[in-house]
Structure 1
Amino acid sequence: MEGLKLSEAELMIYIHPSKSRNVFQAICRELSSLLFQYNETFDGVLLAYDATVKSKQAKILAGLHPYFGVRVNTRLLLFDPKPKSFVEGKIVKISPESIHVIVLGFSAAVITDVDIREEFKYRVRDGEGSFVSRSHKRHALKLGTMLRLQVQSFDEEVMHIAGSLLPENTGCVKWLEKKSEEALHTDRDHKRRKFA
C-alpha cells in the first residue's frame, strides 16, 4: 500500500529530571504521545517507532525546570498518503451517494458518487446496499470488502481521505488480485505457445 513510509531519524528527546531513574521508559512515553497524530517534523502520521539511545550522556538545559536532552536513534513508520497514491481500507458504510472506508483502522475515507466509475451500479439486495460492476458481475463492493482507492486529498487535522474509484486499478482488492493472477497465467500460456 502506498502512503506508508519507513524513516530513520536522530532525535533529541527532552526529559524532566524526575523521570531520570528510567530514561528509556520516559523516551518511549514521549514518542508514544506522538502516535496517530500528524507531525509536520516527520511529514506524516506516526504509526509505530523503534528507538535506541545513542549515548549515555545527556545535555542539560538551563532554566526554571532543568530538562535534559537525550539523543535517540529512531526508526519511524509514517502514514502520509499523497494525491494520486493508492491506499486500501475496509468498507463500513454504503449508500447510493457514497462509500465510506476505514484505512489502517484509524483514518476515514469517503468516495462520493461522482468519483465512482460508471461501471458500478448501486443495488439493494436483502436490505443491504452494494455497488456491482456491470461488466464483471463478481466485482462487487459491499460492507466488509477490502477496497483499493485512489487518494484525491488528505486532511491531516482530522485524518480524512477524499478518495476516488475512477482509475481502472481500483475496487475490490480480492477481485483485482485474482484478475492480475489470471492475466499473468494468460501471458505465460501465450509465451509457451509462442515458443513451442
Structure 2
Amino acid sequence: MEGLSVADANLVMYLHPSKSRNVSQSILRELGSLLFKFNETFDGVLLAYDVNILDKQAKILSGVHPYFGLRLKANLLLFSPKPDMLLEGKVVKLSQESIHVIVLGFSSAIITAENIRGEFKYRTKDTEELFASKSHKRHVIKVGTMIRFLVKSFDEEILHIIGSLISAHTGSIRWLDRHLEEDSEFDRSSMKSRDREWLGDKTVDEGATPMSYDNHIKMSKKRRITE
C-alpha cells in the first residue's frame, strides 16, 4: 500500500529534571504521545518508532526551568497519504450514497456516490447492501470487504480521507488480485503457445531444442528479478 514510509530521524528531546530518574521511560512516553497524530515535522502520522539514545550525558539548558536535552536517533514508520496514492482499507458501512472505510485501523475514509464509477450498481441481496459490478459478477463490495481506492484529499487534523473508485484498478482487493493472476496466467499460456509455434519452425541444425530454449527463458527471468 502506498502512503507508508520509513524515515531515519535525528531528534533532540527536552525533559524536565523531575524525569531524570528514569530517562528512557520518559522518552518513550513522550514519543508515545505523538502516535497516531499528524506531525508537521515528520510530514505524516507517526505509527511506530524505534529509538536509540545517543547522548551519555544530558545538556542542561539555562533558564527558569532548567530542562535538559538529549540527542536521539529514531527509525519512524509514517503514514502520509497524498492525492492519487493507492490505499487499502476495510468497508465498515455502506449505503446508496457512500462507502465508509477504515484504513490501518485508525483513519476513516469516505467514498461518495459521485466518486464511484458507473460500473458499480447499488443493490440489496437478502437485506444486505452492496455495490456489484455490471461487468464482472464476482466483483462485489460490501461491509467487510477489503478495497483498494485512490486518495482525493486528506484532512490532517482529523485524519479523514476522501477517496475514489473511479479508476479501473480500484475496487475489491480480492477480486483485483485474482483478476490480475488470471491475466498473468493467460499471458503465460499465450507466450508458451507462441514459443511452441516458433520452435516448430526451427531446424535441428540451428540447435534450438525445447530444453535449451526453456533454460534460456528461465535465466532471463532471473536476471530481470535481480536487476
TM-score, reference length from structure 1: 0.98
Q: In 2, distance between residues paired with 1:18 and 1:179?
A: 60
Q: Deviations over 1:58-87 (max 9, x none)?
A: 221111111111100000011110000010
Which structure's residues are more often helix, by fraction?
A: 2
Give the Å deviation of 1:55: 2.1
1:144 Cα deviation after fit: 0.3
- One-letter amino acid of the structure 2 residue matched with residue 23 of structure 1: V
Larger of the two Rg values belongs to structure: 2
What residue identity is the alignment partner of 1:22?
Answer: N
Query: Map of 1:1-196 to 2, 5 A cutoff?
Result: 1-196=1-196
For residues 29 and 64 of structure 1, what CA distance do their matches in structure 2 show? 24
Deviations 1:2-48 (A, max 9, x none): 01110010100111111112211111111001001100000000010
Task: Report the Cα distance in structure 1 between the residues aligned to 2:89 and 2:12, rounded to whole angstroms.
Answer: 35
Q: TM-score, normalised by structure 2?
A: 0.85
CA drift of 1:183 comes to 1.0
Match of 2:201 in 1: none
Q: What do the CA deviations read for 1:116-136 (whole angstroms, capped 9, x no partner)?
A: 010000011121110000010
In structure 1, what is the equivalent of residue 214 of structure 2? none
Aligned counterparts of 1:72 and 1:6: Cα–Cα separation in 2 = 16
Higher relative contact order (CA 8 A, sep 6+): 1
Q: Aligned to 2:30, what secondary structure does the other structure show?
A: helix
State the one-letter code of the partner of 1:52. Answer: N
Separation in structure 2 between the aligned mates of residue 188 and residue 56 of structure 1, nearest angstrom: 59
Q: Provide the alpha-carbon RMSD of the alignment.
A: 0.7
Q: What residue ranges of structure 1 are gaps of 5+ in the alignment?
A: none
SS at match of 1:184: helix
For 1:140, the aligned partner's letter is V
Describe the SS at the equivalent of 1:35: coil
Range with greater deviation from structure 2 (151-160 or 182-191): 182-191
* Residues in 2 aligned to 1:181 and 1:125: alpha-carbon distance in whole angstroms: 28
Shift of 1:96: 0.4
Counterpart Cα distance in 1 of 2:128 and 2:41: 44
SS at match of 2:35: coil
Say which is worse superposed, 15-24 or 1-10, in terms of deviation: 15-24
Higher strand share: 1
Letter in 2 for 1:117: R
Separation in 1, partners of 2:180, 2:59: 55
- Matched position secondary structure for 2:64: coil
Distance 1:103 1:70 in 2: 34
Matched AA of 2:4:
L
- Structure 2 residues without counterparts, runs of 5 or longer: 197-227
CA distance in 2, matches of 1:85, 1:161: 11
Q: How big is the shift at 1:57? A: 2.1
